[in-house]
Structure 1
């Protein structure tokens, strides 16, 4: 297993969980751009393995992607969305943390099943970042419409908040 990839995934998950559990302003950038960048980097990592040519690898990647998106959407249903200081905020709940735990266990089980059907471990390792990005996209697909339904604007970018605060 690529230690750098595993550490990157762990750091991103812990960072997101802590910040979002405490509650933070919701920006469109955080909801869409960052998950897209993670997903794109994950696709790049998978492509670098030069091993994705067998049915088992493609099946594992496809099923892993579907599980990531669906799991993110499920997780998004547990996120609290509210208006504070005139902008949309969001906050993870204990249920969100429980869903994270379940999704991590599901990912481990999916990886074990993929290896059992003949998928290559390097492909599965490389797909960790892709799965994380897709999971955040699934979450955003549920949280975004709920945020827009509040009628409040998304939070401005940090630079815009500083300038407006002067």
Structure 2
């Protein structure tokens, strides 16, 4: 999902050096967007329940995983308030709604297991390829994920 609570189905592949996030169109059989995030760039991994402003029309329940790289670069005002912006240094992941119904795929779709594997691989990647000026290892947080969506008309229509 994105910073405007817009859900899109993604394939997330975790390799020993890279996190790949692919927005794949299963009907048209093509890739809309591919993010390639080197694991040693990841600054923080936050897990928690979604939290929206009190006046928000956009809501969701459940756990999310906020993976951030380059936390020193603040998104521009234009990027942050553009619901279609792809120039943001983070990705927000959540479990697929069908994960509980499909027993063959449920082990692949568990957010807790993915977070554990991601954390382990990020720590190894940062140990093997340290970046100058960065702390050792990612910042691991468990706190509510602040979503700043108030109206969310686009996400309400899409979701």
Answer 1 or 2: which has greater helix percent. 1
Which protein, 1 or 2, shows the higher relative CO under an 8 Å CA cutoff with sep ≥ 6? 1
Answer 1 or 2: which has greater strand percent. 2
TM-score range, shorter chain: under 0.3
